[in-house]
Amino acid sequence: MKQEKLELLAPVGNWEVLEAVIDAGADAVYLGSKKHNMRMFRRDLNFTPEEINNAVKYAHAKGVKVYITVNNLLFNEEMEDLNSYLLFLKKIRPDALIVQDLGLIKYIKDLGINLPLHASVMMNIHNKPAINLLKELGVSRVILSREISLEETRDLYQATGMELEYFIHGDMCVCQSGQCYHSGMVFGESSNRGRCKKPCRWSFDLWDREKERTLNLSAGKNYLLAVKDMCMLPFIPEMADSGICSLKIEGRMRTADYLKKVVSVYRRALDRYYQNPSSYTINENDWQELYAQRIRDFSSMYAFKNPGSSSIGYSGEREPRFFSFAIREKEIKEEDIAGEIFEDGEERNIRIDNPVLSVRVGNIRGMLEAIKGGADRVYIGGETFMSCGGKWSQADLQYALGYCQDKGIEGVVTTPRITQGRQVDRVKELLYLAASWGPAGVMVGNLGTLQLARQLKGLDIYGDAYLNVINTNSVEQLKKLGVKQLTLQPEIYYKHSLELTKKASLPFEIIAHGPLTAMVMDHCVPAALLHGSSWWEVCNFPCREGKFSLMDEKGLEHPVEVDEDCRNHVFLAREVALLPFMKTFVQAGIAGFRLDLRTYNPEQIAFLTELYRKNLTLIGKNPKEYSFDLADWKKLKSLCRDVTFGWGGYLKGVKAKLAKGEKENSSEKSSKLIRLK
């Protein structure tokens, strides 16, 4: 497939920057409004509708394209608030809208808005099936996950023909895009909604949980997840041959002076390349100019391989700002239980008579104990952790599904949250085999595995929490795509979740017990720190040698578990435990309670399943008379002595930002601007 010249795409946070980057040679710009986009920390940045209208006119007069970011995850009330703004955008005709929320794609189509749609990097698109699904939904461009290499990009372009956009310069995240919940669960400020407090840039020690000691690392190098900035200037020829159509510079909060220099340097490099591709070399003066004004040190990140420790700025000395510092996650106390902390006086009588008790397990023994304890459904397969015994084999899964059928238990095959490269073929083969073994269904955590599961007739599809569903339009979109059940997103405040449950046309399950993943990342902490390697290189597998945590400055341990694909899962310091509070969620219509017990031993799995089963049964018999027995909490604490329990994001999590009266004011302003000529 013949490609056009690479588009140079620049960020814009205000009018001064707009003029500067266009003058510097940007082919296109991306910008957002003051309400509906992913850069929300500074009130002096972003554009009013009137300014957006003027920016589109100004850029188009200069022959420059304008892409509008509408790339937050959205609650129902925020989606409704978007109506007049979207119709306004339809009228002024920017060149595309950048979106993250599946529900917003549906909403835009329902409004009859025919502007091109670009899938945000926050959709975490990293495989061919996901791209094909988005093409089916009307998306014309995908901004690829930042862990995708140029080689993979070329393969994806050749396989799909989709326009592919790629980050080439600026601030990067250590976590897979759209899969970081740490800030949302701890601070109520979601990275998926443009308000990340960047806990990945905290100071940590590497802690050995078994030997109970800090591992000796280089002094003064405690910023263990603080990734460097990306810089791809030396690799213009490689990018031109990669299938990318657009080179994206990060930095909508950067100054005009900074961005003008960055755009100018890349513009000159691209022009020199296209004048004579075969003899192109980097200009030393341009490199020195770019390097001299760097924010952090530079890395090519995942463009060629997993960069391992070379991508981390361990000293933290070049961090421009720390958005937060470690805080103590709130622990559940007995007085919280006695005070019925989730009770708020609202009448909730949507009760489902028999909520499903499901247990996610990491091996056959765990499954047997969960079924013995009273589980209605078991989730098998998916990610398992090296410190807990390794992965499921095909023989294990076949045996497990047969056993479940014999016992009348629902056996659901779980798939990994991230399925990249060769992992797609492995999951595809697994799904075809599993379909022949007769599971109750398959649980999917990304759009690619959803697309694969849709191709198999007769399989019920369960959506995991990591599809990031927080509004009814997303529910309807996924229902059309064949999903039978969804999971509440764990960083969302419980009232929003229960309101969604009440309005949704699909049932929701809640993660009621177990460790909550704050971040999932391709950077391997033990390999990088202990052996200076990554999975791309020869690795001695330090993840098999011990159990590790990141110890923050408050002394809290964030366990780090490594899965079979060498991805790291960083957990909150406190596990969630909703045992004392299930009545509220049952009465609100929650269809199921999931215990994620992959890190628990068989004795604990049996005990916890039985304990949750007992309380669910008692609630079902007489919810009005049910009162939680504090003795059950003491038993739980006694059995799980090495674990402390908290709320996840259910109590202090992410809330809609619309203040009272704000919706009306915003709509009134937008309606006036729709009449702009």
Q: What is the pLDDT of residues 443-493, one digit of tens each?
A: 999 999 999 999 998 889 999 999 999 999 999 999 999 999 999 999 999
- Please tell me what DSSP assigns to residue 47: B
Cα of 139 vs its chain's centroid, Å:
19
CATH architecture of 334-516+572-646: Alpha-Beta Barrel (3.20)
Percentage of the chain lying above the pLDDT 70 cut? 94
**Banded model confidence at residue 204, pLDDT cuts 50, 70, 90:** very high
Q: Please, which pLDDT band fits residue 38 given cuts at 50, 70 and 90?
A: low
Q: Which residue has the higher pLDDT, 350 or 6?
A: 6
What percent of the chain lies above the pLDDT cut of 90? 84
- Domain ranges, ordered by start, for the chain: 7-170+230-295, 179-228+300-325+520-561, 334-516+572-646
β-pairing, 557-562 vs 568-571, is antiparallel
Q: Which token pair is 640?
A: 């799980």
Domains 7-170+230-295 and 334-516+572-646 are alike in CATH topology: yes
Residue 222: the pLDDT is 94
Helix axes 394-407, 422-437, angle to 10 degrees: 30
> What is the per-residue pLDDT for 641?
87
Assign 531 a pLDDT band (cuts: 50, 70, 90). confident
Q: Over 50: is that where the pLDDT of 25 sits?
A: yes
What average pLDDT does the segment 637-652 reach? Answer: 93
Residue 326 and residue 553 in contact, taking contact as beta carbons nearer than 8 Å: yes
Superfamily covering domain 7-170+230-295: Aldolase class I (3.20.20.70)
pLDDT at 670 over 60: no
41 confidence band (pLDDT: 50, 70, 90): low
The three-class DSSP label of residue 166 is strand
Instruction: Using CA atoms of 437, 441, 445, 446 in order, give the dihedral in degrees to the nearest 10.
Output: 80
For 100-145, how does the pLDDT look when each residue is reduced to its tens digit (9 = 90+)? Answer: 999 999 999 999 999 999 999 999 999 999 999 999 999 999 999 9
pLDDT of residue 42: 66
- Say if residue 80's pLDDT is above 90: no
Residue 674 has pLDDT above 70, yes or no: no
pLDDT tens column, 242-252: 999 999 999 99
Structure confidence by residue, pLDDT tens digits, 359-414: 999 999 999 999 999 999 999 999 999 888 878 999 999 999 999 999 999 999 99
Q: In this model, does residue 672 exceed pLDDT 60?
A: no
Q: What is the pTM of this model?
A: 0.94
For residue 35, give the DSSP letter: S
